[in-house]
């Protein structure tokens, strides 16, 4: 497989189609014999894959079987859920403890790991130790929408390999630049995109949109650039992709892309994903300054419910949310960062029910 290629396969037998894809890509030829292999899924929260947020265990099973059939035995799954959820719960609920039992692999919870610092220009990033303990990294992201960065896939998935404190710091730095820097510091050697049923609106899932597709590639920038277009965004809408390209992580020029469908009829048909930019209306209700993902997702979920109930239009003021409001005063805020506000919904992060009730009470006061 060449760096400018993306291979894809469609079907519903997720494990077998993943193996077929990896055989075609000859994944094993890219790995040095005896290498320690890290597989990085997306287990953002303890929710099953058909919810649209997490990597299907069947896809990871297909990767493991491909590796084992070619003599690789040192395989570990490395992941840390988002701030507010425990990775150990995600391993259980998302079917990864079962993978461990079945295949005798290791699970590494990055929320429990120590980290090392990698300097980059005038800043540095802290990365969990498990990253330098692997020789070959297979990234297995889910293509999803994201309330702050519009899309999340290969590049942003590396965020599960930093400590929770660093995730908060990334949000305080505006996400895009630190995500690009993180990808300069962590090399992903092979990417398998779970494009089976990602939620096109929310990183946390809940609205799965079925494509029944798995893709493979070598360049995370090229993959994200392609998926950005597929979701109806331009590269200007997702600045971290361009920043990663400028940092030398990969190529964002889609004119170089060679796309091939395995078991297709030889013609490449462009998939059309529904446009989901309705989130913009909800975003308009919030004044976000450096907000953690889980906090923002909860707010969007609560606003969506309020909109369905016709209550949202009664909210005339902007709601403040994010670390940028620490130590500041204001009218109405979400999360402990806004604890000095006249009204605020406590929690770090508060869940969507609490936010929903808090906004409803505020609107009806």
User: Would you tell me which residues interact with ligand SF4 (CB under 6 A)?
Assistant: 83, 168, 291-292, 294-295, 322-323, 335-337, 348-349
34 or 346: whose CB is closer to ligand SF4?
A: 346
Cα(119)–Cα(47) distance, integer angstroms: 35
User: Minimum Å distance from CB 111 to ligand SF4?
Assistant: 15
55 or 148: whose CB is closer to ligand SF4?
A: 148
Contacts of residue 267, Cβ cutoff 8 Å, sequence gap at least 6: none
User: Minimum Å distance from CB 282 to ligand SF4?
Assistant: 17
Phi/psi region, residue 175 (left: phi>0; alpha: psi -120 to 50; beta: rest), is left
What are the residues facing 333 on neighbouring strands?
A: 320, 344
User: Minimum Å distance from CB 321 to ligand SF4?
Assistant: 6
User: Minimum Å distance from CB 55 to ligand SF4?
Assistant: 23
Cα(63)–Cα(300) distance, integer angstroms: 34
User: Minimum Å distance from CB 161 to ligand SF4?
Assistant: 19
107 or 354: whose CB is closer to ligand SF4?
A: 354
Sheet holding 75-79, edge to edge: 106-109, 75-79, 37-41, 136-140, 190-195, 213-217, 5-10, 258-261
Asked if residues 188 and 40 have their Cβ atoms less than 8 Å apart, the reply is yes
229 or 326: whose CB is closer to ligand SF4?
A: 326
Give me 38's structure tokens: 């890290």
354 or 363: whose CB is closer to ligand SF4?
A: 354
């Amino acid at each position: 497989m060449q760096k400018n290629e993306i291979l894809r396969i469609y079907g519903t037998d997720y494990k077998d189609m993943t193996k077929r894809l990896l055989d075609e890509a000859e994944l094993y030829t890219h790995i040095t014999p005896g290498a320690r292999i890290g597989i990085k899924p997306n287990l953002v929260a303890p929710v099953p894959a058909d919810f649209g947020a997490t990597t299907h265990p069947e896809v990871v099973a297909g990767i493991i079987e491909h590796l084992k059939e070619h003599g690789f035995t040192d395989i570990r799954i490395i992941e840390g859920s988002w701030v507010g959820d425990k990775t150990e719960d995600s391993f259980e609920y998302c079917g990864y403890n079962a993978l461990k039992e079945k295949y005798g692999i290791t699970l590494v919870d990055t929320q429990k790991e120590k980290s090392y610092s990698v300097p980059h220009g005038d800043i540095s990033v802290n990365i969990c130790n498990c990253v330098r303990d692997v020789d070959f990294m297979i990234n297995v992201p889910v293509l999803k929408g994201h309330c702050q960065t519009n899309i999340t896939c290969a590049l942003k998935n590396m965020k599960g390999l930093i400590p929770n404190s660093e995730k908060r710091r990334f949000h305080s730095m505006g996400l895009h630049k630190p995500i690009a820097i993180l990808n300069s510091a962590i090399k992903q050697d092979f990417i398998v995109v779970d494009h089976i049923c990602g939620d096109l609106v929310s990183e946390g899932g809940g609205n799965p949109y079925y494509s029944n597709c798995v893709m493979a590639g070598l360049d995370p920038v090229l993959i994200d650039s392609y998926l950005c277009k597929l979701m109806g965004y331009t590269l200007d809408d997702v600045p971290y992709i361009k920043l990663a390209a400028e940092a030398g992580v990969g190529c964002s020029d889609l004119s170089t892309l060679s796309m091939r469908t395995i078991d297709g009829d030889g013609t490449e048909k462009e998939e059309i994903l529904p446009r989901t930019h309705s989130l913009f209306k909800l975003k308009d209700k919030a004044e976000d300054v450096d907000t953690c993902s889980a906090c923002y997702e909860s707010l969007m979920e609560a606003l969506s419910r309020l909109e369905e109930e016709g209550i949202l239009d009664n909210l005339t003021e902007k709601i403040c949310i994010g670390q940028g409001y620490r130590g500041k005063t204001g009218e109405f805020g979400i999360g402990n960062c806004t604890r000095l506000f006249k009204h605020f919904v406590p929690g770090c992060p508060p869940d969507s029910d609490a936010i929903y009730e808090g906004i409803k009470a505020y609107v009806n006061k």
